[in-house]
Amino acid sequence: MRQQPACRSFAAIAVVSVCGLALAADPWAPPPTYYDSAVGTGGALQTQLYDVMRTGHIQRAYGDFRQSAALHDADPDIPGRVLLAYNRASVNAGWDSGATWNREHVWPQSRQPGSASNSSTGNLGDPHALLPCNPGINSSRGNKPFGWSSTTGNHGSQGTHYFPGDTDKGDIARSLMYSDTRWGPELGIALVNGTPSGNQMGDLASLVAWHYLDPPDDFERRRNHVIASNAENPIYFTNNRNAFVDRPEYVWSVYMDQNNDTQLSVAVPDADGFSWLPVALDPVFVGSTPPSVAVTLDKTGADGTFYEVSVNGDAASASEGRHNVFPINLAAFESGSVDVSIDPAAAATPGAKTGDVYIDNLDVTTGHGIGSAALDFDDIISVAVDVLDHAEGSFESGADTNTLGHDFGTVDVGLPTTFSFPVHNLEAAPGFTGSLWIVPGAVTGDAAAFSLELVGELVAAGGFVELTVTLDTSAAGSYAATVEILAGDDPTLAGAAADEALVLTLTGTVGVACLADLDGNGILNVDDVDAFIAAFVGADLAADLDGNGILNVDDVDAFVSAFVGGCP
């Protein structure tokens, strides 16, 4: 049986998931209840949005834009400058009677009632319907409607129509949709397909396509917020917002149809459109930034849709927010991606970190049925990562001991001599401590006299490895060396700490063998005589003191000579 989270959010019913999602702070979000009354579809929804955007609306005059543009169209990177429409050029914000920039009516003056003067209000003076513009570009555009949906590149005329450029085409579309919805019922202006006449504007089909191809960016969203905000714009604030910037998902229902056919999924979806995908990230060390992965998000259906990415638990996503989009695609299939990770704050402590990333198809239409648009169940990516405490190397199991000394003493020439010792990986966080990676480090002193049997090895948390160091006894002499063992985190994992040195101090003396000291106690006495006689009589080559493999009088002479001469 497939395992899956118990919580499932139905987009048509739950505006906020019942799972208690943690939404990132959005500095340009509308007041929480601003769109609560916009619950319909089609014409009813557009009427509700008209009511939302006109209620409490403080109309501003056309002349006010000369000063207010410095606030809501400010260049985010250069103080005292504004960004212009169509070419996004950065120029001085100060008004100089239209020499540097002038005021572009996105809905041309000649295609709406009245004539603009500095005292004009309504759509003629509404900052949502105006943009600062290069005078030459403004003149070139004239009162041309906008088109066409397949056009890309820079701004410029397209025969009888005008293309605003790829950077601004979505912004222009949403400005016109605002004017149509906010002012259409009062002024008789309207958006139409093809070539408009009278107080009409278009091309509507192109505007809808651009809306999905160029979603609201940070500049446009901030602009929308500052125009409305008393706090950000205390003199010229309008107290109303462009709904199609805040809630771009309304566009399909208002301007297309009630049968949006999109379904989103991160795995094979159920009949209701729900899909679930578990993602296990590679372990990381405490204090590091967890890795992120791009999870494939599929959209079936030819229509466009906006979707929201939200998180709960320890999950994080660079895709978080409600302005993610799939454009209209007549091929009826498209793939995108959602970034998933773990909140770096959760990686401050060791342990198993888990959370969910939710994907909500925001379209509000229901005509296509269960599994599509508003009836498309949320999709869930469950993300998990183990955050590990740093490994800690030690020569002892119960304490952090980084130094160890060993004296081999005096060893006979040619006698193999080794010293074995453990290296432990202390486990500070049971179950969540990383493996210890140990490799040979620097050797100082008589480096050639001591050899460490270590190439590179991982030591599990709470475990140890037994290492061996050998003293070279091929030549007599006194030897001393300091041997480092570099101990650190598994270098293949993110956040691995730098190696520290475990220091092994070694000494030893290699002497000439005392041939007559057969019992090896360093003293020549009658016991050595008895031992030699027993070995010689028993044909034991321990009595072969000249090393030729034959027991004879030469070995007796060698023993006597060594015994009389004493041990060196």
Same domain assignment for residues 368 and 474: no
Same domain assignment for residues 338 and 414: no
**Does 19 reside within a domain?**
no
CATH number for the domain that contains residue 272: 2.60.40.10
**Does 137 reside within a domain?**
yes
Same domain assignment for residues 58 and 130: yes
Q: What share of the chain is helix, strand, coil (3-state, %, to 5)?
A: 25, 30, 50
Same domain assignment for residues 66 and 211: yes
Distance CA 13, CA 11 (A): 5
| SS3 label, residue 428 | coil
The answer, as to whether pTM is greater than 0.85, is no
Domain range spanning residue 554? 526-565
Last residue in a domain, options 328, 359, 388: 388
Q: Residue 436's pLDDT is what?
A: 98
Same domain assignment for residues 237 and 320: no
Say if residues 189 and 199 touch (Cβ distance below 8 Å).
Answer: yes
10-residue mean pLDDT profile of the chain (568 residues): values are 39 37 77 98 98 98 98 98 98 98 98 97 98 98 97 97 98 99 98 97 98 98 98 98 98 98 98 98 95 97 98 98 97 96 97 98 98 98 98 96 96 88 97 97 97 96 97 92 98 94 96 74 85 90 82 89 77
| SS3 label, residue 553 | helix
Q: Residue 313's pLDDT is what?
A: 98
For residue 454, CA distances in Å to 135, 320, 396, 465, 504 come to 75, 48, 18, 10, 13
Same domain assignment for residues 55 and 198: yes
**Does 323 reside within a domain?**
yes
Say if residues 352 and 386 touch (Cβ distance below 8 Å).
Answer: yes
Same domain assignment for residues 495 and 547: no
DSSP string, 203-261: -HHHHHHHHHHS---HHHHHHHHHHH-TTT-TTT--S---HHHH-TTHHHHHHT-S---
Tell how far CA 526 is from the center of its chain: 81
**Does 301 reside within a domain?**
yes
Same domain assignment for residues 242 and 153: yes
Q: Residue 566's pLDDT is what?
A: 77
Beta strands in 276-329 (DSSP E): 276-280, 284-285, 293-300, 305-313, 315-316, 321-326
Number of folded domains that form the chain: 4
Beta strands in 413-566 (DSSP E): 417-425, 436-445, 450-452, 457-459, 464-471, 477-489, 500-511
Same domain assignment for residues 245 and 109: yes
> Treating both helix axes as pointing N-terminal to C-terminal, what angle do 169-187 and 218-228 enclose, rounded to 10 degrees?
30
Same domain assignment for residues 227 and 355: no
Last residue in a domain, options 255, 288, 314: 255
Q: Residue 568's pLDDT is what?
A: 58
Distance CA 163, CA 145 (A): 9
Last residue in a domain, options 333, 360, 388: 388
**Does 11 reside within a domain?**
no
Q: Residue 13's pLDDT is what?
A: 33
Tell how far CA 180 is from the center of its chain: 40
Same domain assignment for residues 240 and 119: yes
Same domain assignment for residues 463 and 421: yes
Sign of CA dihedral 75, 76, 77, 80: positive
Sign of CA dihedral 393, 394, 400, 401: negative
**Does 336 reside within a domain?**
yes
**Does 9 reside within a domain?**
no
**Does 26 reside within a domain?**
no
